A and B are shown apart, each in its own frame.
Chain A
Amino acid sequence: MNKRNWDKFSLKNFSEFKDVDIDGQNSAVNEDSLFKFVELDEFKSEVIKVEPYSYWKSVMRTFIRKPSALIAIISMLLLLLAIIVIPMFTPEGFLDFSIADKDLPPDSVHLWGTDLVGRDLFFMTWTGARKSIGLALITSSLVVVIGTGFGLIWGFYRKLDPIFIELYNLIANIPALLLYMLLSYVLSQAFPAMAAEVRLIISLTIASWIGVARFIRNQTLIITNREYNLASKTLGTPPARIMTKNLLPYLLSVIITQTSLIIPGMISSEVAMSFFGVGLPSNAISLGALLDLGRQKFELYPFQLLAPAGVLSFIIFTFFLFGLALTDALDPKKHR
């Protein structure tokens, strides 16, 4: 059946073996001889000639074409380069306490000056940025994975609605910062040996997953009653496969969009928690801790605050822009 001869009457072959030039005078074949019937091959018109359209390729193409995406990509690359390369070239002792060098203004040795315990602000800030971004990426992926999983289940099994709604009310009605502080405190009392980073990740994840879960649940509700899901149910497809094969692929683009917006949120949450002293300890090198320190002598040495604040703004702006451009590219309506 594979070997069916579809090409027997295909246009291409015709013009190959008989060189017909209808409009010109030097026609190799007499036009009159063409008035005879051709056997119809019903399978021939079923062939799809258009090359397969790939959604993700199309997304990439649309993404690259956007000017705002270009800016986002460039600043994202710069950012990644900075947080990877700059900490690698930290001169020895630049991140250590050194009272002699404290509160120095920017000069050729200390590009952005030093902080109130004498550490170099330029290298401190970028090292801190690396830690903050790393933490944010880990937390965001945890939040998205957990949130998506529970969101799908929440949306698929309507019976679970009351349980999840109560849980949502419980978590969402407490101010986020208070919740972080509370969780952080509880964790530090329960597991004193736990590293501050792990504590931070856990408390941020616990406080944030339900928001993603609710978002995914709403998205699931929108598509779960579509006919193709009904078709799968009539075919007896088990719920787990309906979720992974029918629902998840449709949600992928909104999940990516959501993730790209969660990451900057997570960075700010980490910063906020460290700033208020419930995140990383103030001797740890992170943007939050730096901001907390910089605030103390802001009026005398503004660069101590401005350096980490500037970098933080740049990071959040970059991720946000990247997310927005990605959202646009993921919309199939804009694929032209």
Chain B
Amino acid sequence: MSNIFDIFRKESKKSYPSTVSTKDSVNGRDILLEVRDVDVFFGAGKHTVKACNSLNFKIYTGETFGLVGESGSGKTTISRAILGINKLTNGAIYFKGEKITGKLTKKESLAVKSKIQMIFQDPAASLNERANVDYIISEGLYNFKMYENTDDRLHKVTDMLHKVSLLPEHLSRYPHEFSGGQRQRIGIARALIIEPELVLADEPISSLDVSIRAQVLNLLKKLQRDNDLTYLFVAHDLSIIKYISDRVAVMNDGYIVELGNANDIYSNPIHPYTKSLLTAIPQPDPRTKNDRKKLVYNRQSINYEECEYLEVSDSRFVLGTPELIKQWTTKQ
């Protein structure tokens, strides 16, 4: 098996090439983003917080990669590491085969920024309250000089507004005059107007009202189809991840514990943590509420340091030992 998990996490401080192949040697798909052996530790000495431990995953062009985990699982840390906000302790991240971590020139980092954008969790906090919608959405255009003149810029902005179902008359309004869903759509417009290739969506719907969530999810799906976007979708709710993602990585305590196709994981989870996450989702079916068993995961029962990534079926990886996996898969 030649796959990314063959690189053992114990080999630290090794050097990483500045470019890698963008074709997956196993299935021949185009890799847009590759995360290799990434550790992110905060603090030092006794108080080190190991937020991410030897993370390895690839995001293929055009797919939606879901990252699911509860608070403290390190899912936000890794997404911010991709954006260059958190520094890596070990490992490297490649975007279209180019290394984007470590020392970058100003020009390089700006080029990466124009291709990787982010949609934030809380639209109330992530929009500049003292700037009008026109400026907020145009911000990226200004930064990358992506317009010829004011008319052209306004044309682009109104066009983008229309794509996210907002009105041109909103341009002169300020964020606090909008509802949560509208604000999130402003945030989406701001991120997408500079035509990025990879969009990190960090819990983009968890602070929205229920009636708005589907609207935003559908909008994200539509924009993905229209603009050939690739998403890294971060969420704590497996049901949302399952709906929107093609592949899913389940994170717990800084480790990816299970990685595979969304439907496989949803219908046949292997790692006990994934099982506990799945059974904990409240389902809109009161008749069966007492039949569904809620599994409680005991983190202490498994020492992740002793586990390794095992490919249990085609491109399906589970963090465990052969004995554990045997135990998890047979005891049903």
Contact = CB atoms under 8 A, between A and B. Distances in A.
Bound pair (A, B): yes
Interface of A: 1-2, 42-43, 46-48, 50, 52-53, 226-228, 230-238, 241, 245-246, 249-250
Given A48-B170, A52-B173, A53-B177, A235 B131 contact: no
A227 B128 CA distance: 9
A336 to B, nearest CB: 15
Nearest to A238: B143
4 cross-chain pairs, A with B, having the tightest CB-CB distances, nearest first: A249-B130, A236-B113, A227-B126, A227-B125
B122 A235 contact: no
A234 B187 CA distance: 12
A42 B219 CA distance: 13
Nearest to A4: B167
Nearest to B200: A234
Contacts of B128: 228, 231-232, 245-246, 249
A145 B126 CA distance: 28
Nearest to A42: B165
Contact of B176 (A1, A42, A53, A231): A53
Contact of A237 (B118, B125, B126, B139): B139
Contact of B158 (A1, A226, A235): A1
Contacts of B178: 48
Contacts of B117: 234-235
A249 B127 CA distance: 13
A48 B83 contact: no
B190 A231 contact: yes
A230 B131 contact: no
A119 B130 CA distance: 53
Contacts of A43: 165, 167
A235 B139 contact: yes
A236 B130 contact: no
5 contacts: A43-B167, A48-B173, A236-B144, A237-B139, A249-B128
Interface string B30-60: 0000000000000000000000000000000
A2 B168 contact: yes
B126 A230 contact: yes
A245 to B, nearest CB: 6
Contact of B166 (A46, A52, A226): A46
B26 interface: no
Nearest to B144: A236
B145 to A, nearest CB: 11
Contacts of A50: 177
A326 B313 CA distance: 68
A205 B182 CA distance: 47
A52 B165 contact: no
B140 A235 contact: yes
Nearest to A248: B130
A241 B131 CA distance: 12
Contacts of A226: 125
Contacts of B129: 228, 250
B85 to A, nearest CB: 7
Interface in B132-166: 135, 139-140, 142-144, 158, 162, 165-166
Contacts of B172: 52
A46 B83 contact: no
Contacts, number: 87
B214 interface: no
Contacts of A47: 167, 169
A231 B128 CA distance: 9
Interface string B101-138: 00000000110011011101110011111110001000
Contacts of B167: 43, 46-47
Contacts of A241: 142
A236 B165 contact: no
| Centre residue among B109, B130, B143, B168 by max chain A CB count within 10 A | B130
Nearest to B119: A231
A241 B120 CA distance: 21
Contact of A1 (B109, B168, B177): B168
B266 interface: no
A260 to B, nearest CB: 21
Contacts of B190: 231, 235
Contacts of B122: 227
Given A2-B168, A48-B170, A249-B131, A235 B126 contact: no
| Centre residue among A46, A47, A53, A241 by max chain B CB count within 10 A | A46
A241 B140 CA distance: 12
A236 B83 contact: no
Nearest to A228: B128
Contacts of B140: 235-236
B118 A48 contact: no
A7 to B, nearest CB: 13
Nearest to A252: B130
Nearest to A237: B143
Given A50-B177, A52-B174, A236-B140, A228 B127 contact: yes
Contacts of B144: 236
A183 B3 CA distance: 70
A293 B159 CA distance: 72
Contacts of B182: 46
Contacts of B110: 236
A152 B162 CA distance: 37
B85 A233 contact: yes
B216 interface: no
Given A227-B120, A246-B130, 15 more contacts: A2-B168, A46-B165, A48-B170, A53-B174, A227-B121, A230-B85, A230-B126, A231-B120, A235-B113, A235-B190, A235-B194, A236-B113, A236-B143, A237-B142, A246-B128
Contacts of B125: 226-228
A229 to B, nearest CB: 8
A319 to B, nearest CB: 27
